[in-house]
Amino acid sequence: MFVQVIKKILQRGFDGYRVILANIQDLTALKAVANQSSSNQNHLNSLIDTIPDLVWLKDLNGLYFNCNPMFERFFGALEQDILGKTDYDFVDVETADSFRKHDLNAMQQDHPTENEEWLTFADDGYKGLFSTIKTPMRDGSGKVIGVLGVARDITVQKQTKMQLKRLTKLYAVMSETSEAIVRCDNKQVLFDSICQATVSVGEFKMAWIGLVDQSTKIITPVAFSGSHTDYLQGLEVTMDETSILGQGPTGVAIRENNPY
């Protein structure tokens, strides 16, 4: 290239040299900008690829034009096989309709939207609860051109929250039971109070108390509260481990003297 420049200088003179030099400088600057842009894009792609959440981009028509490796696992396909396709190419119609509904809602609302949904991964069958945030994407003029989606697995957090909530309710029931023991001077009233507290405070659907006849080992309900109490009508339960009627949770709990 240097030899070609010298030849053109000799042909055009000094003015030609200045023009060629300016062109070379412009090309150098343009190349530097292009390299920087490419570097920034590579950094952005690397960042998206390392995010443990599902990340994807769709256009107005729901066609994918970007996604990360975690999202590839969800569809069980490589990005190159996902691009240009829609949800209907990978999941059932009901699920795809739900995805599309939330896409349109995010773009119409003009602000990020969030919803919880159960997702099943195609690569290994894992099923979890995900918190999905969808944000409308805009071009330089502010026109909506698509939607950005990010989904985070909240299965463990949700289970932990539910367990803590359940324990809190159980402790509240224990507190109510302790007060009932002090307050009640009648065994039947005490049993009724415990069942009522279990349903109203503990938010169980139904609670019952049974007493064991030590001679027959049969367990008879003596108090209950809540819905579906007709289950107790004609109930036959025993703590006898040799009987088929003693193999349920009630018989096991009494024999082992432990919650079941």
In DSSP notation, the chain reads -HHHHHHHHHHHHHHHHHHHHHHHHHHHHHHHHHHHHHHHHHHHHHHHHH-SSEEEEEETTS-EEEE-HHHHHHHTS-HHHHTT--GGGTS-HHHHHHHHHHHHHHHHHTS-EEEEEEEE-TTT--EEEEEEEEEEEE-TTS-EEEEEEEEEE-HHHHHHHHHHHHHHHHHHHHHHHHHHHHH--SHHHHHHHHHHHHHHTT--SEEEEEEE-TTT-EEEEEEEEES-GGGGTT--EE--TTSGGGSSHHHHHHHHTS--
pLDDT of 13 > 60? The answer is no
Mean pLDDT of 122-149: 93
pLDDT of 2 > 50? The answer is no
**Which is higher by pLDDT, 32 or 120?**
120
Mean pLDDT of 234-241: 87
Mean pLDDT of 89-117: 94
Give the percent of the chain with pLDDT over 90.
57
Under CATH, which number does the domain 53-153 receive?
3.30.450.20
- The pLDDT mean for the chain works out to 84
Q: Choose the weakest-confidence range: 42-56, 90-104, 198-212.
A: 42-56
Say what the pTM is: 0.59
Q: What are the boundaries of each domain within the chain?
A: 1-50, 53-153, 155-204, 207-260
**Which is higher by pLDDT, 31 or 98?**
98
pLDDT of 6 > 80? The answer is no
pLDDT of 190 > 90? The answer is yes
In the prediction, which pLDDT does 91 show? 96
Strand order in the sheet with 144-153: 64-67, 54-59, 144-153, 127-138, 113-120
Q: 115: which strand partners?
A: 132
24-40 confidence digits (pLDDT tens): 555 555 555 445 544 44
Strands 206-212 and 218-226 turn out to be antiparallel
